Structure 1
Amino acid sequence: MRLKGVIPPVCTPLTPDGEVDATSLVRLVDHLLGGGVDGLFVLGSTSEVAYLTDAQRRVVLDTVTGHVGGQVPVLAGVIDMTTPRVLEHVRVAVEAGVSGVVATAPFYTRTHPDEIRRHFRTVAARGGLPVYAYDLPVSVHTKLGADLLLGLAAEGALAGVKDSSGDDGGLRAVILGREAPFSVLTGSEVTVDSALWMGADGVVPGLGNVDPEGYAELYRCAVRGDWEAARAQQERLVRLFEIVRVGGTRMGGSSSGLGAFKAALHLRGVIDCSITALPQIPLNDDEVGRIGKLLAAAGLL
């Protein structure tokens, strides 16, 4: 069946000494499930997967799958540079009992499209789970074109794609060319209404950690064809998304965005600590205060 709905990429709460805060992570999962989400994506970009050790990844997997207990699908990022490293993450994810895995194209190495195809085919064959491609050219420097994705889908190597490319034309080409049950999920928090109108199946929104109810309502409006209400909800979320910019040019986009999500979750009482992993720069008190004002304006405080 085609994966649909709101599937937030779950933040990874950390303790002040940088370890995974499993207690806060369980509260965050309950917060998301209570908000009406349709699935969970752990160990993605918003989960700070690039910063986590293999042991920390395992803690996240075991904590979330153990707590969810099959209530909703749990997808696990198996993101790493090359196929052998990804396959080791797949093995651990399978042991944890996830519903599917999410993989980018190989990176660091300069890779040919035929090698990318071989990568996804191998992950699908060795893992025995549905594989979702993560189109993230800003981080892996390779764009997954519609022909490549749809060809792998036709072979049965891919179950879907999370499109975080920012290429709306490419997204539409995949939607137009796909055949069931290939799932198309947008990774953009701010254009969900238009993606759903084009025929996307759902959204993987980092901001969904902060306001899962808002994205769940947007999706419900789209499903029933109430596009005016969907647009109104989307515009409210666009205004809330300004929290990711409070760090300005003082830090990298990762520090600003992930720090904002965690600060908002801390302000909402969901997680105990808003720390982000090294070497990200933390938000200061003034920036956290600005996030609080944006939360209040969105009706979340």
Structure 2
Amino acid sequence: MFELKGAMTAIVTPFKDGKLDEEAFRKLIKRQIEGGIDCLVPCGTTGEAATMDLDEYERTIGIAVDECKGKIPVLAGAGTNNTKKVIEFAKIAISAGADAILSVAPYYNKPTQEGLYLHYETIAEAIGVPLVLYNVPGRTSVNILPQTVIRLSEIDNIVGIKEASGSLNQVSEIIEGAKDGFSVISGDDFLTLPMMSIGGTGVISVSANVVPELVARQYDAFVEGNFDEARQLHHKLYKLHKAMFIETNPIPVKTSLALMGLVEEEFKLPLCKMSDANKEKLKVTLKDMGLI
């Protein structure tokens, strides 16, 4: 049974000559598993899913499932601003073997709270498997408000939310009001520790692409009650978290992996390579952490 908890990685999708770099992707996944990550999250924002066609999407999920099977679960991203298309992508992921679906709030349309409720209710009914909501108002221009999340938590297969509103007040309201067993996880590396301190159950991390073992250890230290260690890791990781957002995600994290020799420095338009000035700043952080 899928449980939404632990240190999870919003993994990048490596490309080479405009196509999925399958060899590099498999190596990245193995590195995540060896680093102690609890769940893999392919085809999200960090994975550049918005620019994938159906075949690329299916192949990416298939590789993730193949590498993770019997080791860790796969929470596949399936989100767009068209409810019918979300269901189409989600069913592809489920057929490929994904354990659960993560779906970002519809962007651009700016639906009402009732529209958001109906969107997720419709997806949940159509797919049957565990569904995780994803709230990131900075990207979508719409905030899934706590009362809407609380309503959605009553639907059997809606099991949690990736919260990236930046509001601990909103997180508190959800945790207090949602049904028992509904999980709230951090969608923002900066807030993992604060969110866990008020009842969050983990993180879907960007930084874990670069340092899976440190992100995993921070989570483990907290649940083991080693709060001093968890706090020390929070501060150790802080500069890296900042560096991962000096340009639009996933440009910095993918550039970091390229500098580490793990992927090609290749993106799909409209994303592009990092500016030289920001790349130099990124190199300083990576060198300070002993990563390059």
TM over 0.5: yes
Task: Kindly indicate whether the alpha-carbon contact (under 8 Å) linking 2:166 and 2:188 is maintained by their aligned counterparts in 1.
Answer: yes
Q: CA offset at residue 138 of structure 1?
A: 1.7
Task: Kindly indicate whether the alpha-carbon contact (under 8 Å) linking 2:207 and 2:244 is maintained by their aligned counterparts in 1.
Answer: no
Q: CA offset at residue 157 of structure 1?
A: 4.5
Residues 3-12 or 291-300, more deviating: 291-300
Q: CA offset at residue 299 of structure 1?
A: 3.0
Supply the distance in 2 between the matched residues of 1:292 and 1:110 (Cα, whole angstroms): 38
> Aligned residue for 2:62?
62
Q: CA offset at residue 287 of structure 1?
A: 4.2
Q: CA offset at residue 20 of structure 1?
A: 1.1
Supply the distance in 1 between the matched residues of 2:112 and 2:275 (Cα, whole angstroms): 43
Which structure dedicates a bigger proportion of its chain to strand?
2
Supply the distance in 1 between the matched residues of 2:155 and 2:254 (Cα, whole angstroms): 39
The aligned amino acid for 1:160 is G
The aligned amino acid for 1:264 is S
Q: Would the alpha carbon gap of residues 293 and 183 (structure 1) be closer, same or farther in structure 2, given more than 3 Å must change? A: same
RMSD: 1.7
Supply the distance in 1 between the matched residues of 2:173 and 2:205 (Cα, whole angstroms): 21
| 2:267 is the alignment partner of 1:276 | yes
> Aligned residue for 2:201?
201
Q: Would the alpha carbon gap of residues 108 and 241 (structure 1) be closer, same or farther in structure 2, given more than 3 Å must change? A: closer
Supply the distance in 2 between the matched residues of 1:193 and 1:67 (Cα, whole angstroms): 29
Task: Kindly indicate whether the alpha-carbon contact (under 8 Å) linking 1:133 and 1:160 is maintained by their aligned counterparts in 2.
Answer: yes
Deviations 1:194-218 (A, max 9, x none): 1111110000111110111111111
> Aligned residue for 1:249?
none
1:133-282 → structure 2 map (5 Å cutoff): 133-244=133-244, 246=246, 253-254=247-248, 257-271=249-263, 273-282=264-273
Task: Kindly indicate whether the alpha-carbon contact (under 8 Å) linking 2:110 and 2:142 is maintained by their aligned counterparts in 1.
Answer: no
Q: Would the alpha carbon gap of residues 110 and 266 (structure 1) be closer, same or farther in structure 2, given more than 3 Å must change? A: closer
Deviations 1:50-101 (A, max 9, x none): 1222222112111111121231110111111111111111110111010100
Deviations 1:1-55 (A, max 9, x none): 642101110101011x221111111011011111100001111111111122222
> Aligned residue for 1:120?
120
| 2:265 is the alignment partner of 1:298 | no
Unpaired segments ≥5 residues, structure 1: 247-252
Supply the distance in 1 between the matched residues of 2:205 and 2:161 (Cα, whole angstroms): 14
Q: TM-score, normalised by structure 2?
A: 0.94
Aligned residues: 291
Which secondary structure does the structure 2 equivalent of 1:70 belong to? coil
The aligned amino acid for 2:32 is L
Supply the distance in 2 between the matched residues of 1:28 and 1:184 (Cα, whole angstroms): 26
Which secondary structure does the structure 2 equivalent of 1:155 belong to? coil
Q: Would the alpha carbon gap of residues 117 and 277 (structure 1) be closer, same or farther in structure 2, given more than 3 Å must change? A: same
Q: TM-score, normalised by structure 1?
A: 0.91
| 2:3 is the alignment partner of 1:13 | no
Unpaired segments ≥5 residues, structure 2: none
Q: CA offset at residue 259 of structure 1?
A: 2.1
Which secondary structure does the structure 2 equivalent of 1:7 belong to? strand
> Aligned residue for 2:81?
81
Q: CA offset at residue 296 of structure 1?
A: 2.4
Deviations 1:234-289 (A, max 9, x none): 1111112232355xxxxxx42xx322211211232322x02121122312556444
Task: Kindly indicate whether the alpha-carbon contact (under 8 Å) linking 2:113 and 2:145 is maintained by their aligned counterparts in 1.
Answer: no
